[in-house]
Structure 1
Amino acid sequence: MSTATRGEREGRAASTAPPGDAAPQDPSGALDVDKLFAARLHAARVRPYLATALFALHTVECRQVPTMAVDRHWRCYVSPAFVDRTPVEELAGVWVHEVSHLLRDHHGRGDRVARQRGLTGPGERLRMNIAADFEINDDVFGDGLLRPEGAALPEMLGLPAGQLMEDYLRLFRLGPRLHDLAWLDCGSGADGRERSWELGPDGAHGLSEQQRDAVRFRVAQGITGRPGSAPRGWRRWAEEAFHPPQPWRELLGAAVRSAASAPGAGEDYSYGRPARRSAALPGAVLPSLRRRPPRVSVIIDTSGSVSDSELGSALLEVAAISRAVGGRRDLVSVLSCDASARVVHPLCQGEGIPLMGGGGTDLRSGFARALRAQARPDVIVVLTDGQTPWPSAQPPCRTVVGLFPRPLSAGSYDEDDPEYVPQGPPAWARVVEIGG
């Protein structure tokens, strides 16, 4: 038991607090900043690529949070009782967990998915918090970082690892199996819903939007500069962080959403719910027209005229296309094509899709292969530089073309013939210029 006087305890707490972090105001049951910041230092040592983000957080003592929580302005609210009862090694894991919510923009993504899917109320935000935790916790611990007790993991519900928050939201609902997580509250930084105990946008020590972007960029640099030292989920995040959203990406997403929601797309007759007009025909059961989630087939031009950087952009567009149709990556397939179509890959993960090719270009084979699929697509998205023959007839589904820009000079279209100038995309396709 410590024999230090009240003044000595206050002075020691103040002297150990890093610049910008407040010392505890109430020494009776006060926040143990020595222990808290020792845990942060341990987290930075075992995850050096996250150090910039960890030390950008401003800590706020708060007895209303169950453990630790963050707001969207990069403040970290800490329960003194939680710090007292938790070992330093576990606290380090909580530090990394909370800063991961902010780096992965779970608050912004939570707001977007709430608007798109009509999710309202604290129950749905709790579900977002749990889904965001699943995204983080499946690969963030180990290698010197101890998993905190009670951490939410996708295996608790028999769900696969490696998914994104948006994917997990489609795979579970609140119920008895999640009763033990009803206390969970990682703050607005995890789901976008502001809490009464948060300091808000006008409170002290919040980071501006530009400062937050600078922190994310520094962390992404640290991850890409040490290949192999970060988990796959973090490497995927860093790759996307270097390619911030562009206006043309929004246009491409809007074009895909428009095609996917057009009359006829994703519609089929089903006997699962008979048509209401069956009542007028005794003894006859008529099917009703039901809407199902649209299927999207993405054809990527891998011919020699498409650069490696454009192929990298194409894979990022695949992720954007998945988000445009509500995050159902199981309904998106990817096909690489140069003069002939290659293997069709389901979009089960955000990485690992091989793009094979390098010869001439004839995307007609890609269209034919996509339309021969067992589950025919409702939308075909083609990512190409346009140097290809196009199908002579309009496919029986919507088509969106993402076009890599090329100079207008004829010489720029020199694949086999320097005089060759390709025909532009057909009138029945919606065209969006990528990078323009």
Structure 2
Amino acid sequence: MTAGTRGAQGAAAGLDPRLDPRLDLRLDLRLDLDLDKLYTARLQAARARPYLATALFALHTVESRQVPTMAVDRYWRCYVSPGFVDRTPVEELAGVWVHEVSHLLRDHHGRGDRLARTRGLTGPAERLRMNIAADMEINDDAFGDGLVRPQGAVVPGDLHLPSGELMEDYLRQFGLGPRTEHLVWLDCGSGADGSAREWDLGPDGADGLSEQQRDAVRFRVAQAISGRPGNAPRGWKRWAEEAFHPPQPWRELLGAALRSATSGPGAGDDYSYGRPSRRSTALPGVVLPSLRRRPPRVTVVIDTSGSVSDAELGSALLEVAAISRTVGGRRDLVSVVSCDAAARVADPICQAEGIPLIGGGGTDLRAGFAKALGGRPRPDVIVALTDGQTPWPSAPPPCRTVVGLFPRARRPRSYDEDNPEYVPDSPPEWARVVVIDA
């Protein structure tokens, strides 16, 4: 195989096509799909990665002269170019099989759709970035140990990025430019980024897997990885753990944490003479107050520092509205404190529909906690909505605390220009923490 023909392999696994793709299509018209070679490569992939065998053999092959190489859709169809199979060695085809099925197992199509909605990522350029980011998540530990890395497969080091991160993390760290010019033909299909292609057969096409079948395949692969934890790379171990213990929807978790805090002993309790205590009958002439439960007062401390995005602030405002419903619609019992390095005035949300969120500087939520506790009457519950890049109070406040945490990249980074080694502490143990996917 010459360097030129090898370069024509194109987009599968992030390869770099160096021939005119129109020429590839003309060549494909004269070729039949070599199923023996293709399935030999799949068998080799299953031998090299036995924990992925269920997923590899669940893929249904569709011959297509529209795809440049190999691509998948969300219904577990694998579209294959005859010319690509003809030009690619069996050893490299095995790596492409593993690469493509990894997109589906890791739900890159669903995650791509969510990213497009929440971050406003539209258009083919952003979908290409998603495909590149998804490829880096897969390729950094996919090859070796019996599996050949296809020539040109993009790995994080190619873009000077750290390994071991997720698609969402990588997507924040690079843009299209000179370093990605060789990836312009990359196209692993709608299964890699969620955007439908013209060659997709769609939900009503033949040989697609139902949602239940797709979930069953993922569960069996997770079982195989967990049963032999020493044989799988770290990325697959992390995936299998999440498959067995999927993260619960953060809105439900935040609502449950708030309900638990507001309904606990002491929250909203007060003595009242409006209804005397039943024990008063034992003390003639003495009126004893009874302990009555009132709706709890909640103060929401919103991190408005420059590191919190507009989308995250929008999520925070939605949660303020949800919190008011949790306390029975008593909006007068819910106050909001905007806080970056300094706390602003606590605004009862009953005063206006629009809640002013003032800030944009550094972060020190200790000021926000102090402002909340300094209010009269004092809150029964404090809810802090933050990205966590802040110092925390050294002692627990005298009320229940819930922290809604906007996630950040997993890698260490500096949050203090004067101290490059500074990394903020995690939320304290006395707070109930819920990760918010804005």
User: CA 1:220/1:171 → structure 2, altered by over 3 Å: closer, same or farther?
Assistant: same
> 1:6 maps to which residue?
none
Matching residue within 50, 53, 56 for 1:51:
53
User: CA 1:108/1:28 → structure 2, altered by over 3 Å: closer, same or farther?
Assistant: same
Counterpart-to-counterpart distance in 2, 1:190 and 1:253:
31
Structure with max Cα Rg: 2
Counterpart-to-counterpart distance in 2, 1:265 and 1:145:
53
Counterpart-to-counterpart distance in 2, 1:246 and 1:268:
32
Counterpart-to-counterpart distance in 2, 1:228 and 1:124:
36
User: CA 1:292/1:183 → structure 2, altered by over 3 Å: closer, same or farther?
Assistant: farther
Counterpart-to-counterpart distance in 2, 1:168 and 1:109:
13
Superposed CA offset, 1:55-85 (max 9, x none): 0000001111111000000000001111000
Counterpart-to-counterpart distance in 2, 1:106 and 1:66:
20
> 1:290 maps to which residue?
360
> 2:310 maps to which residue?
none
Unpaired runs of at least 5, structure 2: 1-27, 259-299, 304-312, 317-335, 343-357, 364-385, 391-402, 416-420
CA contact (8 A) 2:91 2:148 kept: yes
> 2:366 maps to which residue?
none
- One-letter code of the match for 2:226? T
Show the 5 A alignment for 1:243-322. 243-247=245-249, 249-252=250-253, 261=313, 262=316, 267=340, 289-290=359-360, 294-296=386-388
> 1:149 maps to which residue?
151
Show the 5 A alignment for 1:154-165. 154-165=156-167
Compute the displacement of 1:245 (Å): 4.0
Counterpart-to-counterpart distance in 1, 2:54 and 2:302:
42
Matched, 1:325 2:406: yes
User: CA 1:105/1:27 → structure 2, altered by over 3 Å: closer, same or farther?
Assistant: same
CA contact (8 A) 1:93 1:148 kept: yes
Runs of 4+ displaced beyond 2 Å: 244-247, 249-269, 288-295, 324-333, 373-377, 379-382, 399-402
User: CA 1:54/1:401 → structure 2, altered by over 3 Å: closer, same or farther?
Assistant: closer
Counterpart-to-counterpart distance in 2, 1:192 and 1:258:
36
Counterpart-to-counterpart distance in 1, 2:210 and 2:138:
24
> 2:239 maps to which residue?
237
CA contact (8 A) 1:166 1:327 kept: no
Superposed CA offset, 1:5-47 (max 9, x none): xxxxxxxxxxxxxxxxxxxxx9941111010000000000111
CA contact (8 A) 1:266 1:291 kept: no
Match of 1:228, SS state, is: helix
Which is further off, 76-85 or 236-245?
236-245
Match of 1:290, SS state, is: coil
> 1:184 maps to which residue?
186
Show the 5 A alignment for 1:24-423. 28-247=30-249, 249-252=250-253, 261=313, 262=316, 267=340, 289-290=359-360, 294-296=386-388, 325=406, 327-330=408-411, 380=427, 382=429, 400-401=432-433
Counterpart-to-counterpart distance in 2, 1:264 and 1:156:
44
Compute the displacement of 1:106 (Å): 0.4
CA contact (8 A) 2:157 2:163 kept: yes
Match of 1:123, SS state, is: helix
- TM-score, normalised on structure 2? 0.58
Compute the displacement of 1:252 (Å): 3.2
Percent identical pairs in the alignment equals: 67
Compute the displacement of 1:296 (Å): 1.8
User: CA 1:107/1:50 → structure 2, altered by over 3 Å: closer, same or farther?
Assistant: same
CA contact (8 A) 1:295 1:332 kept: no
CA contact (8 A) 1:295 1:331 kept: no
Match of 1:241, SS state, is: helix
Superposed CA offset, 1:187-211 (max 9, x none): 0100000001110111110000100
Compute the displacement of 1:374 (Å): 5.9
Compute the displacement of 1:160 (Å): 0.4
Compute the displacement of 1:259 (Å): 5.2
CA contact (8 A) 1:54 1:96 kept: yes
CA contact (8 A) 2:387 2:408 kept: no
Match of 1:177, SS state, is: helix
User: CA 1:224/1:90 → structure 2, altered by over 3 Å: closer, same or farther?
Assistant: same
- One-letter code of the match for 1:290? G
Match of 1:149, SS state, is: coil
Compute the displacement of 1:117 (Å): 1.2
User: CA 1:108/1:253 → structure 2, altered by over 3 Å: closer, same or farther?
Assistant: farther
Counterpart-to-counterpart distance in 2, 1:381 and 1:111:
33
Counterpart-to-counterpart distance in 1, 2:107 and 2:53:
17
Compute the displacement of 1:264 (Å): 6.3
Counterpart-to-counterpart distance in 2, 1:38 and 1:266:
61
Which is further off, 165-174 or 257-266?
257-266
Which is further off, 251-260 or 87-96?
251-260
User: CA 1:265/1:185 → structure 2, altered by over 3 Å: closer, same or farther?
Assistant: farther
Compute the displacement of 1:150 (Å): 1.2
Compute the displacement of 1:126 (Å): 0.5
- One-letter code of the match for 1:296? G
CA contact (8 A) 2:301 2:339 kept: no
Show the 5 A alignment for 1:13-32. 28-32=30-34
User: CA 1:325/1:148 → structure 2, altered by over 3 Å: closer, same or farther?
Assistant: same
Compute the displacement of 1:142 (Å): 0.3
Compute the displacement of 1:326 (Å): 5.0
- One-letter code of the match for 2:387? R
Counterpart-to-counterpart distance in 1, 2:37 and 2:221:
25
